[in-house]
Amino acid sequence: MQVAFAIPSSGILRHSKWDALFIALAVAHGTLLLAIPSVALISIGLWWNANTISHNFVHRPFFRARALNTVFSWYLSLLLGFPQTLWRERHLAHHAGASGGMSCGVPWWRRFQPLLAIELGSVLALWSALLIIVPAFAISKYLPGYLLGLALCYLHGHYEHARGTVSYYGRLYNVLFFNDGYHVEHHDRPGEDWRRLPKRVVSGASSSRWPALFRWVESLNLCLLERLVLRSSFLQRFVLKKHERAVRKLLPALPAVRKVGIVGGGLFPRTALILKRLLPDARLILIDMSVENLQTARAFLEVEVEFVNDCFNSASRYDLDLLVIPLAFVGDREAIYRHPPAPVVLVHDWLWHRRGASVIVSRVLFKRLNLVKR
């Protein structure tokens, strides 16, 4: 492994021989665009390249020679349709915690560089040539593909940080995107080689079950559904019935329960309502980071329940006999499976993620309930 990660002592590459793979893929990307241009290839290629090749090049320029890095930056600018020098300034400012394109307190337009002028001029020249020589292609394929690619990049970047910096540890995605999913780890060590990121996992880091581009599903399927349930007595009865049936099936596996922690118990507190019926002598504690959600939950609970305004994570420790984790949990769910924070943990998960003793809550809701023990 030491040889694999060693910095080349000679040659044109600055950091690693693996950077030759990024260079080859960038050339392949350009070749495909020339050979079989399409809206899908333009948009997906822009999104994928920006978050893999271009992103790694921003943090760790591939070549020893400044002239070669300049040429490659110019090539990526033409390939992706936006100046890489500007992208680099803005992205490094993002890592520095700056806003509005500020880098070291100076707006990008006051840090204007000759290379930026060359890249911007080249991109404008490319667009002009396409409009003049192949106007039908430019309007029907290139422009829609380019705009769609920018939209994909926006969604990707937005949901990487919508609830703070969030990682995604799915294996296939991180193979195809060169460990881009290790985003908390990347922010912790921006200059780290992409191959080392899996060994730099931050304890207690926020993570998602979805890659950044599809993370909107969490808000659409969960938050929207929760708010719809609040407005419909029919939906309230439906979710209570489905969840209570699932919990009843797992009851025989539970030891004596005196104290229960319910994470994310705000909005419609189905779990608290169910457990108060099934475990009437247990003390219930609702743990939610939203004061507003806890206030909403109070209206549904006539029984004595303790409300705790806190952000629960996999490293949190409460003196509990039973802990319930919601599907909408933002954090390291795998860490909860590996090291349960309570003697018994009920984890709401997607239908296709079965762990420990498990029952299906509802196929309509794509949901199951997993029981794990220490």
pLDDT mean for each 10 residues of the chain (374 residues): 49 92 97 96 97 96 95 96 91 74 50 80 95 96 96 93 87 95 94 94 83 78 66 83 92 89 79 89 86 80 79 75 86 83 91 90 88 90
Q: Give the count of domains, the chain.
A: 2
Instruction: Indicate if 45 and 112 belong to the same structural domain.
Output: yes
d(CA 113, CA 32): 31
Q: Within a domain: residue 189?
A: no
Q: What is the pLDDT of residues 141-196, one digit of tens each?
A: 999 999 999 999 999 999 898 878 889 999 999 999 999 999 999 999 999 999 99
Angle of the 114-133 helix axis to the 66-80 helix axis, nearest 10: 30
Is residue 50 in a domain? yes
The one-letter code for the residue type at 11 is G
Domain limits for position 319: 217-373
Whether 13 and 136 map to the same domain: the answer is yes
Domain termination residue (choose one: 161, 190, 207): 161
Please give the backbone phi and psi of residue 261, each rounded to the nearest 5 degrees, phi first: -105, 130
Whole-number Cα distances in Å, 116 to 58, 75, 102, 123, 149: 14, 13, 16, 11, 21
Torsion of CA 303, 307, 313, 319, to 10 degrees: -70
Residues 28 and 152 in one domain: yes
* pTM higher than 0.85: no
Say yes or no: 149 and 231 in one domain: no
Q: pLDDT (tens digit, 9 = 90+) per residue, 61-110?
A: 999 999 999 999 999 999 999 999 999 988 988 888 754 444 444 554 55
